[in-house]
């Protein structure tokens, strides 16, 4: 299989390079060629209905969303097509970019050093007898909504908190829950965050969602208290909210204003947000929130290129290892190395490590052996509405589930 008949997406920020690659593909008979100036644009094109993209030709250094962040996003979205990295970076960097893309589960055909040539492309596309291109793939399509629809959904209280348990690996006890936003859409049913978080952020309504999630998290904690069980609830926070001068006070008002201790709420901040040019306001908010007693978690560790030093600037209490490293750790050495390094960082920072997206007993056992503190994932339970969560916890205290030889999952009672 050569270039002819395939559809391409070219993610390249440099205009002359982009034009060159697009022309080259077209003259070789590519069916469609979609240009994008960075990862974000490329992702938008992929998410558009009906755009079957066979091969993504992707640069690494791009403004906005760069090539590595883009690899993570398409890995998470289970993009089934093929990817070629084209870059001017030095060999050692290209090798690590290649390993990272593979760790994310991306079907990487190979890496081409700039300038790109027809021969190099055809070599990777299997013209020489290795047709490994997966054809006509789409991202698991996110639904698309308008800002007005979302605003109406918020006004009508259609946004819910689902809860996913966090389990202590050494004991199997349930120690907390992460609140994950779900839109109970009157026509579409339960809609996942991938279809609305970005839009809510863009339409300036993210603080409204955060308030809803905090409010529902507080109510959940209080209900648990009444049942004689103790839990900590984690709420995801957008970088945008952190940049508001009154953010810490608003959080405190919602939580402590309802009589709940700050230590019962943990705020999860993505690693990208935690280290990308945090302005004074965001740092002040985080420091004040920690001083008030809120937990602070680094979400999705391993998905941005931060140094430990950067992370020490913020008083985090927990670190969450991205699911891509957990999922591939049992088969991929790079993913295992990232997992071990992340656990080392947690030890150095003297904070708890949480593994995200644990799906198998094998992963659970690896994490237990490596001394990871907490785990979350479908192997234990998916996110559930508050009522189902309570029933789930109750069922544990009646009959503990054994998730490995020595790890009964059980509710933590006070
Ligand atoms: P996150 O905070 O890293 O949350 C973990 C995501 O992994 C959740 O996806 C969860 O349902 C999913 N997950 C958990 N266990 C497994 C597993 O074993 N396998 C797989 N494949 N997935 C698993 P969800 O609920 O779709 O949320 C996606 C992201 O949306 C979250 O990532 C978070 O960044 C964002 N988000 C969710 N709720 C909110 C919110 O209220 N506010 C903000 N700002 N962002 C939110
Ligand atoms: Mg989270
Ligand atoms: Mg995460």
CATH code of the domain in which 406 resides: 3.20.20.450
Do both 109 and 241 map to the same domain? no
141 in a domain, yes or no?
no
Q: Which ligand is nearest to the CA of 180?
A: 1
CA distance 30 to 230: 59
Residue 13 scores a pLDDT above 90: yes
350 in a domain, yes or no?
yes
- Calculate mean pLDDT across residues 14-20: 91
- Of ligand 1's listed atoms, the one at least distance from the Cα of 213 is 41
Do both 189 and 57 map to the same domain? no
> Contact 176/266 with Cβ under 8 angstroms?
yes
Look at residues 94, 128, 162 and tell me which one is the last residue of a structural domain: 128
Pocket test for ligand 1, best of 165, 205, 236, 363 (most atoms within 8 A of CB): 236
138 in a domain, yes or no?
no
Q: Which ligand is nearest to the CA of 327?
A: 1
Do both 83 and 123 map to the same domain? yes
297 in a domain, yes or no?
yes
Residue 226 scores a pLDDT above 90: no
Q: 165-177 pLDDT, tens per residue? A: 999 999 999 999 9
219 in a domain, yes or no?
yes
Percent of all residues in the chain with a pLDDT value above 70, rounded to a whole number: 87
Do both 84 and 220 map to the same domain? no
Owning domain of residue 292: 147-410
Do both 215 and 294 map to the same domain? yes
> Residue 153: its pLDDT value, please?
97
Average the pLDDT over each of 30-44, 256-270, 391-405 and give the range with the smallest value.
391-405
Å from CA of 356 to ligand 3 middle: 6
Å from CA of 179 to ligand 3 middle: 12
- Of ligand 1's listed atoms, the one at least distance from the Cα of 181 is 38
CA distance 256 to 259: 5
- The rounded Cα 173 to chain-centroid distance in angstroms is 25
Nearest CA to ligand 1 atom 15: 377
Do both 153 and 288 map to the same domain? yes
Q: Which residue has the higher pLDDT, 226 or 86?
A: 86
CA distance 235 to 381: 18
- Of ligand 1's listed atoms, the one at least distance from the Cα of 383 is 11
Do both 226 and 338 map to the same domain? yes
Q: 195-213 pLDDT, tens per residue? A: 899 889 889 999 999 999 9
- Of ligand 1's listed atoms, the one at least distance from the Cα of 358 is 18
Pocket test for ligand 1, best of 140, 180, 196, 303 (most atoms within 8 A of CB): 180
Residue 92 main-chain phi, psi, to 5 deg: -65, -35
Residue 406 scores a pLDDT above 60: no
Q: 376-389 pLDDT, tens per residue? A: 999 999 999 999 99
Cis peptide before 115 (omega within 30 of 0): yes
140 in a domain, yes or no?
no
2 in a domain, yes or no?
no
Do both 122 and 151 map to the same domain? no
160 in a domain, yes or no?
yes
- Of ligand 1's listed atoms, the one at least distance from the Cα of 237 is 44
CA distance 289 to 251: 8
Pocket test for ligand 1, best of 193, 195, 201, 325 (most atoms within 8 A of CB): 193
- CB-hemisphere CA count at 13 Å for 21? 30
- Looking at the structure of the chain, the number of domains it has is 2
Do both 209 and 84 map to the same domain? no
Residues with CB under 6 A from ligand 1: 164, 180-181, 192-194, 197, 209, 213, 236, 238, 268, 299-300, 323, 356-359, 376-378, 383
Look at residues 99, 128, 157 and tell me which one is the last residue of a structural domain: 128
- CATH number of the structural domain spanning residue 19: 3.40.50.2300
Look at residues 96, 128, 160 and tell me which one is the last residue of a structural domain: 128
Do both 120 and 215 map to the same domain? no
Closest C-alpha to 63, from 115, 11, 116: 11
Residue 243 to residues 182, 214, 218, 288: CA-CA distances in angstroms? 24, 18, 23, 13
CA distance 173 to 156: 36
Q: 43-68 pLDDT, tens per residue? A: 888 877 455 788 999 999 998 888 99
Do both 122 and 179 map to the same domain? no
- Of ligand 1's listed atoms, the one at least distance from the Cα of 359 is 18
Do both 83 and 159 map to the same domain? no
């Amino acid at each position: 299989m050569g270039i002819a008949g395939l559809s391409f997406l070219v993610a390249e920020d440099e205009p002359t390079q982009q034009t060159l690659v697009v022309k080259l593909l077209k003259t070789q008979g590519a069916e469609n060629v979609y240009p994008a100036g960075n990862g974000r644009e490329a992702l938008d094109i992929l998410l558009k209905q009906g755009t079957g993209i066979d091969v993504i030709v992707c640069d690494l250094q791009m403004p906005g969303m760069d090539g590595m962040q883009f690899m993570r996003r398409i890995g998470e979205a289970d993009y089934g097509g093929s990817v070629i990295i084209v870059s001017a970076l030095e060999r050692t960097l290209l090798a690590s970019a290649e390993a990272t893309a593979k760790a994310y589960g991306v079907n990487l055909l190979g890496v081409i050093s700039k300038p790109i040539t027809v021969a190099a492309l055809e070599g990777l596309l299997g013209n020489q007898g290795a047709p490994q291109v997966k054809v006509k793939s789409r991202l698991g399509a996110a639904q698309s909504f308008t800002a007005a629809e979302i605003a109406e959904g918020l006004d009508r209280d259609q946004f819910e908190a689902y809860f996913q348990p966090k389990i202590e690996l050494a004991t199997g006890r349930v120690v907390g829950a992460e609140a994950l936003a779900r839109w109970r859409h009157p026509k579409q049913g339960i809609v996942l965050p991938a279809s609305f978080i970005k839009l809510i952020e863009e339409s300036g309504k993210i603080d409204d969602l955060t308030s809803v999630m905090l409010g529902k998290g507080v109510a959940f904690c209080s209900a648990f208290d009444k049942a004689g069980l103790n839990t900590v609830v984690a709420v995801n926070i957008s970088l945008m909210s952190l940049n508001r001068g009154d953010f810490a006070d608003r959080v405190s008002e919602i939580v402590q204003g309802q009589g709940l201790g700050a230590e019962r709420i943990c705020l999860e901040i993505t690693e990208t947000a935690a280290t990308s040019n945090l302005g004074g306001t965001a740092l002040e908010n985080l420091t004040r929130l920690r001083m008030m007693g809120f937990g602070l978690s680094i979400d999705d560790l391993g998905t941005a290129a931060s140094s430990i030093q950067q992370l020490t600037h913020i008083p985090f209490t927990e670190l969450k290892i991205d699911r891509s490293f957990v999922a591939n750790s049992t088969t991929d050495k790079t993913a295992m190395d990232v997992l071990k390094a992340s656990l080392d960082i947690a030890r150095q920072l003297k904070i708890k490590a949480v593994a995200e997206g644990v799906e198998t007993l094998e992963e659970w056992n690896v994490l237990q052996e490596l001394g990871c503190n907490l785990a979350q994932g479908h192997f234990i339970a998916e996110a559930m509405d508050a009522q189902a969560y309570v029933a789930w916890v109750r069922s544990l205290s009646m009959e503990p589930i054994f998730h490995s030889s020595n790890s009964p999952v059980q509710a933590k009672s006070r």
